Amino acid sequence: MKKYAITIAGGGSTFTPGMILMLMDNLDRFPIRSIKLYDNDEDRQNIIGNAFDIFMKERHPDIEFIHTLDPETAFSDTDFVMAQIRVGKYEMRSKDEKIPPKYGVIGQETCGPGGIAYGLRSIGGVIEILDYMEKYSPDAWMLNYSNPAAIVAEATRRLRPDSKIINICDMPIDLMYKMADMVGLKHWKDLDFSYYGLNHFGWFTEIKDKDGNDLMPQIKEHVSVNGFADGIGTAQHLDESWVETFTKAKDVYALDPETIPNTYLKYYLYPDFVMEHTDINHTRVDEVKEGREKEVFGLCNTITDRGTAEGIDFEIDAHASYIVDLAIALAENTKEVFLLIVENDGAVSNFDPTAMVEVPCIVDKSGYKKICQGKIPQFQKGMMEEQVSVEKLAVEAWIEGSYQKLWQALTLSKTVPSAKVAKLILDDLIEANKDFWPELH
């Protein structure tokens, strides 16, 4: 069996330890010869890199492990680049989340004005990594988690249309774990499903077990009462704000009881509720810093201080398992079905063929084949037309350096009440992002 080389871009990410452990958990079906961490922040990456120098030497001395800031070292001789960068880090996420609420608009990592701001930072970072990969390992695949995936996917479609990049999201997988639990099954892979939408903006239309039995009635009944709140998912989304989001899914569901919604739709459909429950001084990023970052970095520092990883365990969750499963499908031709963010081109037949949609795809050695989802109803089509235009305008604004198009993008977002408010938020975001965004004129 071939042994694979993996590069993790955004090596200093809080998700890196989980990803390394998941890779180590799957060595029997996905042998690894090297893992390289790459980041552009030495201090941050060293926290994880130094700890895993010790961890890997103790538990997997036969696997090469390095962490580096040098693109040539990181991207040469690699088979898969797993990307999870956050351009601007938590400092900028905080501004994405706190600026729009000053004007009564939701502040969120990937939705609304905050998501657009983050998108305009991410495009350049992701393209840079893709270019490194193509220069040093032209046959490799890049599996991208870097958010906001919808804007990143549209940008790579426009700017690098022939690149071997697949954009993915872990949210629907966590939801599928919860739905499996609702019907007494264990794993998301125990379900057959149909789904369509944009990233963080989609709907399940079918859930069946592997014998073809329709599970939707049972799941709908459950979601109509509890949302996703009491389904056992993965360890990743346990914080208080997530519990609120999972509970609110019942009200999102109520709007279209034919489908099961993605949780992120709450930001578009119930922004008033979100604002009532927002503490502008303590947003999701603060929760992440006080929770996941503190915990992950704390464990890493303990390993480094003690000089041993003995007795230390990290969480490995859906986030890690999904990207590793996808790499295995590409490497070993498993023909499993994954939700991917891909160019529509007829997969949703009554929707823009150039839109980057999230639909199930069969993944094999040659890449992926989309599974057609047919026609979608007016309600979803209307919402998606508006949102895809926001994403396309944001990418055009980045490419052309256009203030006008970015103002249009913000104005069109369902989360923003008027062109006036859009302009006020935009002008604040321009100031906050001046080290990251192209100059707009």
Q: What tokens were used for 322?
A: 């999904």
Site pattern 95..134 for ligand LMR (x: CB under 6 A): --------------x-------------------------
Q: Which is nearer to ligand NAD, 292 or 423 (CB)?
A: 292
Query: Which residue in the set 67, 95, 284, 370 belongs to the binding site for ligand LMR (CB under 6 A)?
Result: 284
Q: Which is nearer to ligand LMR, 275 or 288 (CB)?
A: 288
Q: Which is nearer to ligand LMR, 189 or 292 (CB)?
A: 292
Please answer whether residues 309 and 54 qualify as being in contact, where contact means their C-beta atoms are separated by less than 8 angstroms: yes
68 binds, among ligand LMR, ligand NAD, none (CB under 5 to 8 A by kind): none
Closest CA to 161 of 327, 343, 379, 378: 343
Q: Which is nearer to ligand NAD, 73 or 226 (CB)?
A: 73
Is position 84 an interface residue for ligand NAD (rule: CB under 6 A)? yes
Q: Which is nearer to ligand NAD, 183 or 288 (CB)?
A: 288
3-state secondary structure the chain: CCCEEEEEECCCCCCHHHHHHHHHHCCCCCCEEEEEEECCCHHHHHHHHHHHHHHHHHHCCCCEEEEECCHHHHHCCCCEEEECCCCCHHHHHHHHHHCHHHHCCCCCCCCHHHHHHHHHHHHHHHHHHHHHHHHHCCCCEEEECCCCHHHHHHHHHHHCCCCCEEECCCHHHHHHHHHHHHCCCCCHHHEEEEEEEECCEEEEEEEEECCCCECHHHHHHHHHHHCCCCCCCCCCCCCHHHHHHHHHHHHHHHHCCCCEECHHHHHHHCHHHHHHCCCCCCCHHHHHHHHHHHHHHHHHHHHHHHCCCCCCCCCCCHHHHHHHHHHHHHHHCCCEEEEEEEECCCCECCCCCCCEEEEEEEEECCEEEECCCECCCHHHHHHHHHHHHHHHHHHHHHHHCCHHHHHHHHHHCCCCCCHHHHHHHHHHHHHHCCCCCCCCC
Q: Is 170 considered catalytic here?
A: yes
Is position 10 an interface residue for ligand NAD (rule: CB under 6 A)? yes
Query: Which residue in the set 86, 178, 248, 284 belongs to the binding site for ligand NAD (CB under 6 A)?
Result: 86
Q: What tokens were used for 211?
A: 């014998």
Is position 185 an interface residue for ligand LMR (rule: CB under 6 A)? no
Q: Which is nearer to ligand LMR, 293 or 364 (CB)?
A: 293
Please answer whether residues 328 and 82 qualify as being in contact, where contact means their C-beta atoms are separated by less than 8 angstroms: no
Q: Which of 39, 96, 170, 181 is catalytic?
A: 170
Is position 243 an interface residue for ligand LMR (rule: CB under 6 A)? no
User: Known binding site for Mn(2+): residues?
Assistant: 169, 200
10 binds, among ligand LMR, ligand NAD, none (CB under 5 to 8 A by kind): ligand NAD
Q: Terminus-to-terminus CA distance in the chain, angstroms?
A: 54
- Please give the residues from 29 up to 48 whose contact with ligand NAD meets the rule CB under 6 A: 39-41, 44-45
Q: Is 195 considered catalytic here?
A: no
Is position 358 an interface residue for ligand NAD (rule: CB under 6 A)? no
Is position 146 an interface residue for ligand NAD (rule: CB under 6 A)? yes
- Please give the residues from 316 up to 335 whose contact with ligand NAD meets the rule CB under 6 A: 319
Q: Which is nearer to ligand LMR, 267 or 437 (CB)?
A: 267
Is position 288 an interface residue for ligand LMR (rule: CB under 6 A)? yes
Query: Which residue in the set 5, 9, 331, 388 belongs to the binding site for ligand NAD (CB under 6 A)?
Result: 9
284 binds, among ligand LMR, ligand NAD, none (CB under 5 to 8 A by kind): ligand LMR
Q: Which of 196, 253, 264, 322 is catalytic?
A: 264
40 binds, among ligand LMR, ligand NAD, none (CB under 5 to 8 A by kind): ligand NAD
Is position 222 an interface residue for ligand LMR (rule: CB under 6 A)? no
Site residues for ligand LMR per CB under 6 A? 109, 284, 288
Catalytic machinery residues: 170, 264
Site residues for ligand NAD per CB under 6 A? 9-10, 12-15, 39-41, 44-45, 84-87, 89-90, 125, 128, 145-147, 149, 169-171, 319
